Amino acid sequence: MLKRIRLWYQHFVFGVATVVMGVYTVLHAGYIDSPQVTPPPPPPYYEQVATRFSDDAWFGFVLIAIGTILICGVLLNHSWLRKIGLALLALPYGALFFAYGTRGLLDFRINLTWIFIALAVALLIGVARKGDYRGR
């Protein structure tokens, strides 16, 4: 099992990080609406529309499911699960990139969230480009 994790560590780290983000989102649903996270004045309507999904429990469950698929793909050494997991992960990460990019660039609520999600999307593309050819 450790050999598989070492061989597919990028997939494994994406899976674990996604599950952790999902659990945080489920346990802290609505955290973006908190004044500690979004100081007054309230964000404009377009920003609320763009980011509303990102702190909902259903989105957290989606993240947990996709992260679990990736982890299972690594631990069970199933190439198909790893590929599907990465493809599915591109959707919520892309949505978060759009949401926090809108929040950070258009409304100037500058924090590191949109930079981190941009890096995660870039790393996801890099991992997907390497293919699934190791360990055969």
Write the pLDDT tens digit of every residue in 52-66: 888 889 999 999 999
Q: Please tell me the predicted confidence (pLDDT) of residue 52.
A: 80
Of the candidates 96, 34, 101, the residue with the CA atom closest to the CA atom of residue 59? 96
Residue 136 domain flag: no
Question: Are 12 and 71 contacting, i.e. CB atoms less than 8 angstroms apart?
Answer: yes
Specify the DSSP element, H or E, that contains 1.
none
Residue 22 has pLDDT above 70, yes or no: yes
Residue 50 domain flag: yes
Q: Please tell me the predicted confidence (pLDDT) of residue 5.
A: 85
Question: Are 50 and 32 contacting, i.e. CB atoms less than 8 angstroms apart?
Answer: no
Residue 135 domain flag: no
Supply angle C-alpha 91, 94, 97, rounded to 5: 150
Residue 57 domain flag: yes
Q: Please tell me the predicted confidence (pLDDT) of residue 74.
A: 92
Residue 117: CB atoms within 10 Å = 21
The band of 88, judged by pLDDT with boundaries at 50, 70 and 90, is: very high
> How far lies 8's CA from each of 46, 69, 96, 125, in Å?
39, 14, 24, 15
Residue 27 structural domain: 2-130
pLDDT digits (tens, 9 = 90+) for 93-129: 888 888 877 776 776 666 666 667 777 888 877 777 7
pLDDT digits (tens, 9 = 90+) for 24-55: 989 987 777 676 666 666 677 777 777 788 88
The number of folded domains in the chain is 1
